[in-house]
Amino acid sequence: MSTRTQITDPGVPGRTVWVTGAAGLIGTELVRQAAASVPGWRVLGLTRADLDLTHSAAVTARFRSEPPDWILHCAGLTKSPQCQVEPELAWTLNVEVTRQLSELAASARLLFFSTDLVFDGRAGGYREADAVNPLNRYGETKAVAERVVLDGPRHLVVRTSLNYGSSRTGDRTFNEETVRLWRERRPMTLFTDEYRCPIPAVSTARAVWDLVTAVERGDARLPEPGADPTRRLFHVAGAEKLSRWELGRALAERWPELQPELRPGSLKDYVGGPRPADTSLVCDRVQAVLDWSLPRFSEWLRAQPREPEREGG
């Protein structure tokens, strides 16, 4: 069923928003926060059951019958290993679906969710204008989709990193996968030289709604429609760069009863597909728009009350 939020507030102009991928982690959070973040707006959380985005005619018909002012496009194939083994499916879901939505929304606005994995990880500390060079199929399709979206003069791209939270299926997030392995008493080797900037999904959604409302009110710190495409890119990630090893230890502190077995390792010894070493993101551009600070993940995690029935899958 659709996740629908509708609030009537005559003092605030209404907008209609599609949130694609509403069953996913970030999509769920965007819909959940809508009432507080954009009162007076009609937010439609669209899952695959509501609208199969690969059915072009159905998407066009839905758009014409219920045209949105914004599309927050979270849907896609986001599992890197699956993208590697099903490259055509990854292209269809991440590029072609995005292309159609971007073209349909030419006179509206589309905000596309991309990834830090568009970078090759050789430098770290990436800014929005830095050159992309993806090492895997997932990053490749997202990099192409970014270009497609930014061809639309009113569209935006948000790149994010590992998002922490509780998915509807209980097996979509890095923390859920980690806890599942610990419950199965399986040891984990985590790299001390592979870095990301993890962020709670609640913060990602909050930042995106703040960005959307800043655009709506014509915030002078944001680019005008048609501006240089790199100025319509925003990095939204945690304020702390953590290695996989450091991230694993932070999660282990949260579930000591599982007695997790962690082993430090090096990316240099990894046997498998290409993995970028350091895709940490600099988020100064979006931070300048926010009136709150993007969290340092380890500090944020320690401050959260335990919800084991949700967090652990």
192-210 pLDDT, tens per residue? 999 999 999 999 999 999 9
| pLDDT grade for 11, boundaries at 50, 70 and 90 | very low
| pTM exceeds 0.85 for this model | yes
With beta carbons less than 8 A apart as the criterion, state whether 285 and 130 touch.
Answer: no
In 3D space, the residue among 235, 258, 262 whose CA is nearest the CA of residue 247 turns out to be 262
Domain 3-311 sits in which CATH superfamily? NAD(P)-binding Rossmann-like Domain (3.40.50.720)
As a whole number of Å, the CA-based R_g of the chain is 19
10 pLDDT above the threshold of 60? no
